[in-house]
Structure 1
Amino acid sequence: MPPLDWATLVGFVGMACIIAAYAYVTGKDKPDPFILHGTNLLGAALLTVSLLVHTNLPSLVLEAFWAAIAIWGLTKAFLARRKAS
């Protein structure tokens, strides 16, 4: 097994963020969309950094969609909060 480099470690942190967000949304009755989508966006960004060093095109495309959906969710949450104010 090759040694772990910085890009792989960054990828593992990103993976942990996405898994934590999934566990969070599964475990909470009313999850906070800012926590959920913010954590997913951070995870996608960290995995993207890793994938730019260790390129895997299908995974890179997946992270682009993951980030786009997280940004969409954050935008909806910001708009809903502004409308409620």
Structure 2
Amino acid sequence: MPELDIYTLIGFVGMACIISAYAYQTISQTPNPFIQHGTNLLGAALLTVSLLVHMNLPSLVLEGFWAAIAIYGLVKAFAARRVEQ
């Protein structure tokens, strides 16, 4: 069984963020993109911290893409907010 250290716990929190964001997107009639993408970005960052200590290259690459998509979503949301104002 893998060691349950602080970096594994950080990874679990990151996983919970990503799953929560997905559930929020699925359940909400009109999800707030800042909550959705911000939570996904936080989750990807936390999982990346864990993966830098407990290396798993495919998962690390996945988190890079996950973070990039979340950043794109946040940029798009900020741009849409600027247009509305």
Q: Same fold (TM over 0.5)?
A: yes
Distance (Å, rounded) in 2 between the aligned partners of 1:74 and 1:59: 22
Distance (Å, rounded) in 2 between the aligned partners of 1:42 and 1:82: 23
Runs of 4+ in 1 over 6 A off after TM superposition: none
Correspondences of 1:1-40 after superposition (within 5 Å): 1-40=1-40
What's the CA shift string for 1:16-44, capped at 9, x where partnerless?
Answer: 00000000000001100000000000000
Q: Match of 2:43?
A: 43
Distance (Å, rounded) in 2 between the aligned partners of 1:2 and 1:18: 22
1:54 positional shift: 0.3
1:2 positional shift: 3.7
Gaps of 5+ in 1: none
Percent identical across equivalent pairs? 76
Query: How big is the alpha-carbon RMSD for the aligned residues of Structure 1 and Structure 2?
Result: 0.6
* Code of the aligned partner of 1:4: L
Aligned residues: 85
Distance (Å, rounded) in 1 between the aligned partners of 2:2 and 2:24: 32
1:74 positional shift: 0.1
Distance (Å, rounded) in 1 between the aligned partners of 2:51 and 2:3: 17
Residues 3 and 56 (structure 1), Cα distance of their counterparts in 2 relative to 1, 3 Å cut: closer
Q: Secondary structure at the match of 1:60?
A: helix
